Structure 1
Amino acid sequence: MTRQMRGGEAAGRPVQPSDTRRASKADQVYENIKEAILSGGLEPGVAIDKIALSERLGMSRFPITTAINRLAYERLVVIEPQHGSFVAKISAEDVRELMLIRRSLEAEIAGDAALRLGAEALAELERSLRYQEAAAAARDYAGFYALDVEFHRLIIVGAQLRHAKEILEGIRTHLERIRRLLLTPPGRLPNTLAEHRSVADALRARNPAAAREAMRTHLIETTVLFETIARERPNLFSA
């Protein structure tokens, strides 16, 4: 008589503790490599050495291969048979399209937010700007990047636009690698801070047109900067 497969069993055998440990290791490797890619620690085109990773992390190559396959599915890694695995280059065309969507949507959100943000949300934006000032003065790029993400998130959340938030979070994930690069050119941190200040001033003044224009100007500046980086560092990008 054929025995039915119970919950907690793989096809034909019970799940073993080693399966869970293997999955946990694969998750750990996945998170580590993904963060290195998104942060720029692993630049586009760089080879991922599975043997070196295996030795450094003290684990077999199986969880490393599993993690790399997952990253390939997310288009962060390219697997070339007989050659190896490489950090995927950034698609310049995808960046342009996503920046267009982000610019159009966030500008309208800023205009709407000028009439929606409460006193607490405006106070949070002011606190964010103070933290940004400190990060810019210290040239803390990682800290400023996190504050930049939070500044934009505060506006969207404060405007209570749930669907817009979901759309922009998806876009942010795809733009994360390039957004970190955009903060590194000399003078960009104080310029970004000044642009954020213009947005916050318009929101505080309850001026939808000014808020819309300030946000659009800010995001146009990031687009111009992207095109400059794409010209200067073509090795990071695919067409």
Structure 2
Amino acid sequence: MTASRIAPLALYQEVAERLRERIFSHELPPGTWVDEQALAEQYGISRTPLREALKVLASEGLVTLKPRRGCYVTEISERDLDEVFNVMALLEGECAKASAGRASDADLARLQSIHGDLEKAAEAQDIDRFFEANQAFHHALQEIADNRWLLHVIEDLRKVIKLSRHHSLYSEGRLEQSLAEHRTLLDALLARDADAAEQRMREHIRSGRSALARIAAARNRAA
């Protein structure tokens, strides 16, 4: 009985991951109607695992299921971003606070190593590399905090943020600003100052939101 259930479970998870990648790359941009029949034919599957995959993405906030209208890639508004970033600031601040209190010497050495990657990427003005190192730093903090529920919620919220059409690091001066924020955050962590680490992380997340707002404002002026 168990063996007969593994294949369909794996199938809809694989479909969900493929669609997730297409959404994050904006191959399926926000507001796009999801053509279930076309996708089923493209993937060579029935519509049953496809619909199960869409339910997974809907639970993550990446698509919206509308009665009698079908499924659409979620459009994220400026208000959505405000609300999500406020929650992210609280959650990631808590991670930084917990990490400052429980980090081992090896954990701190790992964070310093990742920060070194941030410094090198910033010096080279390599935004993609900086983004990857930034993600690694935040994820390392979440692992050190060792709260799987906190990690789960943060990961889901980051998926929603990826729906934004822009990336904060493309705002003029944001890469350098982000690096400076990481330096002060790392200093607090190395000093095992939990309150300072929490505050600096919250400021770091909210600065990212401000950078996105500047990009949106510039886009609107140009429109």
Q: TM-score, normalised by structure 1?
A: 0.69
Distance in structure 1 (CA, Å) of the matches to 2:11 and 2:143: 35
How many positions carry a matched residue from both structures?
216
Distance in structure 2 (CA, Å) of the matches to 1:149 and 1:199: 15
- Do the aligned partners of 2:89 and 2:203 also contact (CA within 8 Å) in 1? no
How far residue 81 of structure 1 moved from its aligned partner, in angstroms, is 5.2
- Give the secondary-structure state (helix, strand or coil) at the position aligned to 1:78: strand
- Do the aligned partners of 2:118 and 2:133 also contact (CA within 8 Å) in 1? yes
1:216 equivalent to 2:202? Answer yes
Q: Deviations over 1:185-209 (max 9, x none)?
A: 3543343223212211232244455
How far residue 124 of structure 1 moved from its aligned partner, in angstroms, is 0.5
How far residue 86 of structure 1 moved from its aligned partner, in angstroms, is 1.4
- Alignment partner, residue 171 of structure 1: 154
Alignment of 1:55-204 (within 5 A): 55-80=41-66, 83-90=69-76, 92-107=78-93, 109-111=95-97, 113-136=99-122, 137=124, 139=126, 141=128, 143-158=129-144, 161-163=145-147, 166-178=149-161, 181-204=167-190
* Letter matched to residue 123 of structure 1: A
- Give the secondary-structure state (helix, strand or coil) at the position aligned to 1:59: coil
Higher Cα Rg, which structure:
1
- Give the secondary-structure state (helix, strand or coil) at the position aligned to 1:37: helix
| Cα RMSD, aligned residues only | 3.5
- Do the aligned partners of 1:54 and 1:64 also contact (CA within 8 Å) in 2? yes
Range 180-189 or range 22-31, more displaced: 180-189
Q: Which ranges in structure 2 are unaligned for 5 or more consecutive residues?
A: none
Distance in structure 1 (CA, Å) of the matches to 2:90 and 2:214: 21
Distance in structure 2 (CA, Å) of the matches to 1:231 and 1:86: 26
Q: Which runs of 4+ in 1 moved over 6 A?
A: none
Q: TM-score, normalised by structure 2?
A: 0.73
Of 45, 49, 70, 2:35 maps to 49
* Letter matched to residue 113 of structure 2: R
How far residue 20 of structure 1 moved from its aligned partner, in angstroms, is 5.4
Q: Which ranges in structure 1 are unaligned for 5 or more consecutive residues?
A: 1-7, 10-14, 235-239
